[in-house]
Chain A
Amino acid sequence: MIKKLASLANLKVKKKEEEYFKKQFEETLKIVEKFDSLDTSGVDETYIVTGTKNVLREDKIDPLNMLTQDQALSGSKNTHNGYFVVDGVLNNDL
């Protein structure tokens, strides 16, 4: 289970960590599951607490609020001709 989760989350977990994480997940979920004692039938879920509804704006470029190409690339360790370089994805076994 831990191996699968790590792969889904794009993380590497060492073999010896697997058992450790598994035990901790079980402990955590045991604490979480205490909330099962509360009856929630007929109760709606809350995803946003202040009641804000969809906020829309025009899809326009604001040149005063954008990074230059140089600024955008300034933190990257691997660039090529003004672009970010990323690992290939097509050959990865997902």
Chain B
Amino acid sequence: MIDKKLSKKLNVFLTIVDKPKKGIPIAIKDNYLTEGIRTTAASFVLDDYIPQYSATVVKKLEQNGYCVVGKTNLDAWCHGSSTETSDYGPTLNPHNTKHLAGGSSGGSAAAVASGMVDFAMGSETAGSVRGPASWCGVVGLKPTYGRVSRYGVIAMGSSLDSPGPITKDVTGAAKLLKIIAGKDEFDATTSGNLVDDYELALTGDIKGLKVGLVENYMLSEMDSEIVKKTLKAVGLLEKLGAKITKVKTLDPTHAIGVYTVVQRSEVSSNLARFDGVRYGFGRDKFGEEAKRRIMLGTHILSSGYQDRYYKKAQKIRTLFINDFNELFSEFDCLVGPTMPSTAPKIGVTKNAAMYGELADILAEPSSIAGLPAITVPCGMVKGLPIGLQIIGKQFEEGKILNTAFAYEQNKKDD
């Protein structure tokens, strides 16, 4: 069913299921446990790992008519925004194979963008769904933290991780979210809030919607074409009846530090369990990026540095939450560009220890606040796609999906 030649060319799938069950084909990022199907997290540590059970998300999708056709490439352990840290090599961008698909859910984004599947699952800590979706020209939804179960998803940053769909269109994202959202007794951080009917939310009517255009997400170093196209997309929302007001958020550069500290700390704890005793290989198989993150996290959490870095970061996290709360007391959603650039060329991450954190600057503030956000394609810049980002209040996925849907249905091809 999967075009194996194309998959090999772009390095999309790490495992292709030879005889998939009947159903709607879906590609699953290789950090989701899939019973009987190899799951590697793109690390040689788990090169031969066959899980004995499936993640809750995978189970729910299978119960609702979807079948897993393969497991997609990612940055090893989700550590990155390029797929260049994958022990199996990077995934190439279907729009231009000299460029990267992005990460960490790069395989899932490329699988959808290249037409191999219409539906895929990614997962996001900060930017890992939105980034590659934006760079590959597809839709990516990062749900509210706790809206979707993390059970059976190999953990990266446990206070941030949010499984999310990557799809051909907004309707596809709404369909998948409706299935995967909800409380799970195996993940105590999932919310008992009622799950909306996200497909019914797609009315396309955004008349009177109060939208904040985040001015300071238009970074000074950004390509002027990205700014222009983002403003054009926001202009269309206005034409459709939304009320646009320019707003400013807390400087997103501070979120880089918060995200780095929180994520490295949680990584060092989460990756301590991989010892090669119960499954997989030993810790000598960890790649450079994983080692770097584990050790820095260990440093940050060691006595004498906790207050300096970890507690300070968690306090600034509160400042970001307060800042968003204030904005959402006035606005239904916030909009801006998803990524500061288009997909970079292969090799960009060499010797750049902070590449991912810097590339994901526009996703980090909403991630550390646990907010939902969606990226929807809004044109091409120099032959590569860009995305419009729509951020919502916690558990208001319906609103951002509908805003993205209204845009998608009315935009003219670039």
Contact = CB atoms under 8 A, between A and B. Distances in A.
A81 interface: no
B321 interface: yes
B315 A44 contact: yes
Given A31-B256, A33-B257, A86-B277, A50 B370 contact: yes
Contacts of B256: 31-32, 34
A43 B318 contact: yes
Contacts of A21: 291-292, 295
Contacts of B280: 75
B53 A67 contact: yes
A36 B312 contact: yes
Nearest to A54: B188
Interface in B290-312: 291-292, 294-296, 298-299, 302, 309, 311-312
Contact of B257 (A34, A52, A71): A34
Contacts of A36: 312
A12 B284 contact: yes
Contact of B261 (A27, A32, A48, A50): A32
Contacts of A33: 257
A75 B369 CA distance: 37
Contacts of B268: 9
Contact of A35 (B50, B254, B276): B254
Given A46-B314, A52-B188, A25 B296 contact: yes
A32 B295 contact: no
Size category of the binding interface on chain B: 35 or more
Interface residues of A, number: 46
A24 interface: yes
Interface string A15-44: 000000100110111011111101010011
Given A9-B298, A76-B277, A28 B189 contact: no
A60 interface: no
B258 interface: yes
Contacts, number: 135
A49 B316 contact: no
A45 interface: yes
B310 to A, nearest CB: 9
Contact of A10 (B146, B283, B369): B283
A40 B292 contact: no
A71 B52 contact: yes
A5 B309 CA distance: 16
9 contacts: A2-B295, A10-B272, A29-B309, A34-B253, A35-B257, A46-B317, A50-B189, A50-B394, A52-B191
Q: What 5 A-B pairs have minimum CB-CB distances, sorted nearest first? A: A75-B279, A49-B370, A45-B314, A35-B257, A55-B188
Given A25-B295, A49-B368, A52-B146, 10 more contacts: A9-B295, A25-B296, A28-B296, A29-B309, A34-B254, A34-B256, A43-B318, A44-B318, A50-B191, A74-B52
